[in-house]
Structure formats: structure tokens, C-alpha cells
Amino acid sequence: MGNYKSRPNQTCTDEWKKKVSESYAVSVERLQDDQCIKDSEMLELKHVFSSDEAFGKVNMNYRTANGLSLLHLCCICNGNKAHVRTLMLKGLRASRLTRNGFTALHLAAFKADGELVTGLLHGGADIQQVGYGALTALHIAAIAGHSETVDILLQHGAFVNVQDAVFFTPLHIAAYFGHELVGRLLLRFGADVNVSGEVGDRPLHLACAKGFLGMVTLLLTDGSDTDVNALDNEDHSPLHFCCRFGHQHLVTCLLQGGYGVNPHAVNIYGDTALHL
């Protein structure tokens, strides 16, 4: 029987999930902030990237107040693969971070610009380089739900199971945000469904907590050896989270789908899924 007197109002897992949510919200805000350029400056920069003549006259050492180089700006102001190639040949470093902590490849991945992503990679950009929050370009494409960009990055050798500052892989992120197409691609490229996040949370825990039926089904059917009874650091199973957050359709899916779910698993507070 659940120990109701000792159970805290908020578990460690609850507090951690709140921090994770805030962490990704801040990351998106910082990515968006890098793209906030004064209207007058934006018009000038778009002009620079609109013609070979204007581009040929630009100062290669130009920087914005946020520390964006022309290589970053190329990814924001309608530049193309030829611009990227020229800028990199002239010595602009693809590894340079903005003040918010992102490379040109991060910005191109966030904007889902496949041409620029490819151009940067062909020019020697480090596909594994991390920015703010230990995020790689693959993490960022997963956050934004850009399946085409995810596909390009994976085909160019991005590490599919790379972990960020909260120990989430791109598959964790896809499950957290419910991006099924991204999740399907990651699984096709060998994503490990049983990698643990900071508090032992697997992608299946996240999808169950969020109520994403399609993502749960994907993880159970396309995932290799998905542990449907995996326990986090407080011994919560995915079924615990379905019940905790009232996702009846997922409870039905897990219990009646023939996946071997254990309905009697007990967390560290003595609770089964029925208690929750």
C-alpha cells in the first residue's frame, strides 16, 4: 500500500522535469534572440546576400552586437551555400559561437535550412560541436521538430545517441515534444531507446508523461528491445506516469497491447500505478 504520509507533494522527478522544461525554453529563447536584428540592419544584410556585387564588397570582419559573424548572419538573412563556401574559404570559423552560445550550424538547423546545413558541413563545420546547454545541431533540430534537417545531419554522421547537459539524447527530446517523424528517423539510425536521462528517465517515460500516444506506439513498435517496465531513479515505470497524469488512452495501450507491462510495479514511495 502507498505510504501516503511520507509521499512528498512534489517528487524529485517532478522538480527535475520542471528544470528540463525551463532549460529547453531558455535554449529556444536564446536561439530566437540571436535572430533578433534591427530592421535597418536586417535590410542591409539581406541586400548584402542578395547579389554577388554587394556580397563582394562586404567587410569580412563584420560583427553584430550579439557577436554574430557573417557566417552566422548568412544563416539568418537569406544567404546560400555559395556564400557559406566563400566565407569559410576566406577564413571565417564555423566553430565561432554567438554570445548566446551557438554556431552557424546550430542556427541553420534551428531554421531548418537544409541547403545551409549541407553547405556548412561540406565546408568543414564540426557536426558534433556543442553550444549552449551542450546542445548539438542534432539536438536543436529535434527540439524544433525539423525532420528533414535531422535526416541530413544523421546522414552526415551526427552521433544519434549524443547527450546534452540534462543527459537527454535527441530521441529523449523527440519524445518530450512529441515529434514522431523525428523519432522515427532517429530510431532508423539506431537511436537507443533505453538510454537514461539525468533521473533515469527513458524516452518512453517522457512520452507517457506527456500523453503522446503516437510516440509511445512508435517507441514500442519501432524501438529495439524497448524496456516497457524501465524504472527511473524513483522507481517510476512508464505506466506510473500514464496514471499520474490521467492518460487513460495510454493506460489502455500499455495494458492491452501485449507488451508485458507489469501493473504491480511499486515506486520508492510504495505506490503502484493504481495508487497514482
Concatenated DSSP letters for the chain? ---TTT--SS-HHHHHHHHHHHHHHHHHHHHHHHT---HHHHHHHHHHTT-HHHHHTS-TT---TT---HHHHHTTTT--HHHHHHHHHTT--TTPPPTTS--HHHHHHHTT-HHHHHHHHHTT--TT---GGG--HHHHHHHHT-HHHHHHHHHTT--TT---TT---HHHHHHHHT-HHHHHHHHHTT--TT---TTS--HHHHHHHHT-HHHHHHHHHTSSS--TT---TT---HHHHHHHTT-HHHHHHHHHTTS---TT---TTS--TTT-
pLDDT of residue 14: 74
Residue 15: predicted pLDDT = 76
Burial of 239 (0-12, 13-18, 19+ CB in 10 A): buried
Mean pLDDT of 82-106: 92
End-to-end CA gap in the chain: 11
In this prediction, residue 2 has a pLDDT band, given cuts at 50, 70 and 90, of low
**pLDDT of residue 159 exceeding 80:** yes
Does 63 score more than 60 pLDDT?
yes
pLDDT value, residue 54: 78
Domains and CATH numbers, the chain: 35-105+113-125 (1.25.40.20)
Which of 198, 172, 195 is CA-nearest to residue 183?
A: 172
Supply the pLDDT for residue 6: 56
- What are the tens digits of pLDDT across the range 119-150? 999 999 999 999 999 999 999 999 999 999 99
Task: State the average pLDDT for the chain.
Answer: 90
Rounded average pLDDT over 89-116: 94
Calculate the alpha carbon distances from 215 to 69, 130, 186, 219 in Å: 38, 27, 12, 6
95 versus 65: the higher-pLDDT residue is: 95
Looking at the predicted structure, is the pLDDT value of residue 89 above 80?
Answer: yes
8 confidence band (pLDDT: 50, 70, 90): low
- pLDDT value of position 62: 84
Cell numbers for 257: 497491447
Cβ neighbours of residue 267 under 8 Å, at least 6 residues apart?
231, 234, 235, 236, 237, 240
Higher pLDDT, 150 or 7: 150
Look up the pTM and report it: 0.91
Locate 205 and state its grid cell. 517515460
Query: Is the pLDDT reported for residue 216 higher than 80?
Result: yes
Which cell goes with 155?
546522414
Of residues 249 and 11, more confidence is placed in 249
Instruction: Over range 228-247, report the average pLDDT.
Output: 95
Most confident of 3-12, 16-25, 68-77, 136-145: 136-145
Q: What is the pLDDT of residues 37-48, one digit of tens each?
A: 877 777 778 878
